[in-house]
Amino acid sequence: MLESLLPNKNLTKQQEQVFKKIQTFCQDNWNNNTKGLFQLNGDAGTGKSVILTKLFLTLEQAAKDIDSQLHGSNNYFLVNHPELLKVYQDNAGAYQDLRKNRFLRPTTFINKMHKNQQKADIVVIDEAHLLLSESDKYNNFEQNNQLEEIIKLSKVVIFVYDERQVLKLKSYWSQSLIDSLIKSLNLNYEKSTLTTQMRMQAPKQIIDWIDSLTNDLTIKPLDLAMKDADYLGGMQDDYDFRIFEDAQKMYQKLIEKNNNFGKARIVSTADYPSTLDGKKHYVTEGDFHLPWDQYNYSKVTWAEKPETINEIGSIYTVQGFDLNYVAVIIGPSVTYDKNGHISIDISKYEDHEAFKKRHLDDISRINHAKKDIILNSINVLLKRGVKGVYVYFHDHDIFRYIQQNTIQ
């Protein structure tokens, strides 16, 4: 059971305000028999899922309460992420008011509603930036857009969206696309944005460094003390941030953290070949040599399995999850440019599924979109660690630049 996604978590003042706003939105649209769409924005780690899980428990309790105006409401919780779905279904077993069969993949929900000629009342969607934005027969989705289809099949939809977590062309989203749906479907629409970083116990300069790297392709100077010959950094206001020159030494340090604290895992950008053929595929950087994660048939999530300290996680494995410590290998697609800037080489990115041809002609700058996808994946990977993040760059010129521009 993943405690960070339990529905009984205490909310911060900002989260509580948003939670109440969404509750009122659901109630008003239910009472007025109107169609509503509420959009919850926020960067990775700002606590969007915490609000959704508590909201859905509240909705399901109200659905069973004969004195509630929402009594009898038919509600669902959707997430297009198999590892996260396992967590939500597992957590549901601990609460008598929650039912596992109300937690579904979006395609399952859509096809079920069409087959039974039914409609839902309130639908909550976590990680809506993973929804398909075009048809995909391979995944049994025949309509044009999953968000649009879910809205048509529901009275009220609450969805989480972060444009910095879009990872595939077939699920490529933009605010303009969402705005066009709102206009065409004539929806009551509200939105809120969470701004406080809740996952990473990191100082502002570390968050700013990550954001500059992944938003502006800029390597900001860091105020770090060199603690060891093998890395730059160390403890920064009780947060462990280190940039390593050697991937194997980074991994050895991560193992120490895993032995002491648990839930320390190594992950990588998709710059190293891997296919779902049942065979092991490896990431090699100097003396470092470990296999990619295997398809997880277990009900236990990859991050919670002790043996996965010996594997490398991908963006699809860890998105949405908290780790105590994360070590991130940033591969060959990221290269040093000049004057503290990096470049993105999309030809080096090995996640061919992410760049699979989009059939809709609605992205004017396709290579720009592909670069955004790579940077989004780096942003998500770097923001997994609650207590610390370790970083290794395949391009050693990046390490040397950081070394030369570190304030000590």
Beta strands in 43-198 (DSSP E): 75-79, 103-104, 120-126, 154-161, 188-194
Task: From 131, 146, 156, 158, select the one nearest 51 (Cα to Cα).
Answer: 158
Average pLDDT over residues 277-298: 86
In three-state form (DSSP H/G/I as H, E/B as E, the rest C), the secondary structure along 264-290 is: EEEEECCCCCCCCCCCCCEEEECCEEE
Average pLDDT over residues 377-381: 96
Rounded Cα–Cα distance for residues 271 and 336 (Å): 16
Helix (H, G, I), strand (E, B) or coil at 118: coil
Whether 261 shows a pLDDT value over 90: the answer reads yes
From 83-92, 250-259, 329-338, 383-392, the region with the lowest mean pLDDT: 83-92
pLDDT (0 to 100) of residue 397: 96
Report residue 224's pLDDT band, with 50, 70 and 90 as the boundaries: confident
Whether 3 shows a pLDDT value over 60: the answer reads no
Asked if 35 contacts 151 with a C-beta cutoff of 8 angstroms, the reply is yes
Tokens of 361: 């002609």
Whether 58 shows a pLDDT value over 90: the answer reads yes
pLDDT (0 to 100) of residue 229: 75
Average pLDDT over residues 238-261: 96
pLDDT (0 to 100) of residue 13: 92
From 165-174, 275-284, 326-335, 372-381, the region with the lowest mean pLDDT: 275-284
Q: What are phi and psi for residue 256, nearest 5 degrees?
A: -60, -45
Which residues, other chains included, contact 186 with Cβ-Cβ below 8 Å and sequence gap of 6+?
Answer: 35
Quote the distance between the C-alpha of residue 294 and its chain's center: 19
pLDDT (0 to 100) of residue 299: 78
Contacts 24+ apart (CB under 8 A), 213-218: 213/342, 213/378, 213/382, 214/164, 214/375, 214/376, 214/378, 214/379, 214/382, 215/164, 215/375, 215/379, 217/337, 217/341, 217/342, 217/343, 217/344, 217/375, 218/340, 218/341, 218/342
CB burial of residue 3 (10 Å; 0-12, 13-18, 19+)? exposed
The single residue listed with the structure tokens 């116990």 is: 201
Helix (H, G, I), strand (E, B) or coil at 313: strand
Rounded Cα–Cα distance for residues 374 and 346 (Å): 8
Report residue 278's pLDDT band, with 50, 70 and 90 as the boundaries: low
* Neighbour tally for 336: CB within 10 Å: 19
Rounded Cα–Cα distance for residues 270 and 350 (Å): 6
Summarize pLDDT for 40-49 with one digit per residue, the tens: 999 888 889 9
Summarize pLDDT for 303-319 with one digit per residue, the tens: 889 999 999 999 988 88
Summarize pLDDT for 62-103 with one digit per residue, the tens: 999 999 989 999 999 999 988 889 889 988 888 889 999 999
Mean pLDDT of the chain, nearest integer: 91
Question: Domain spanning 3-194 has what CATH number?
Answer: 3.40.50.300
pLDDT (0 to 100) of residue 356: 84
Rounded Cα–Cα distance for residues 42 and 320 (Å): 12
Summarize pLDDT for 133-170 with one digit per residue, the tens: 988 888 889 988 999 999 999 999 999 999 989 999 99
pLDDT (0 to 100) of residue 125: 97
Asked if 19 contacts 55 with a C-beta cutoff of 8 angstroms, the reply is yes
Whether 266 shows a pLDDT value over 90: the answer reads yes
Helix (H, G, I), strand (E, B) or coil at 314: coil
pLDDT (0 to 100) of residue 1: 41
Report residue 320's pLDDT band, with 50, 70 and 90 as the boundaries: confident
Q: Provide the H-helix boundaries in 154-246.
A: 175-185, 204-216
Asked if 147 contacts 159 with a C-beta cutoff of 8 angstroms, the reply is yes
CATH 3.40.50.300: which residues of the chain? 3-194
From 179-183, 224-228, 322-326, the region with the lowest mean pLDDT: 224-228
Quote the distance between the C-alpha of residue 304 and its chain's center: 17
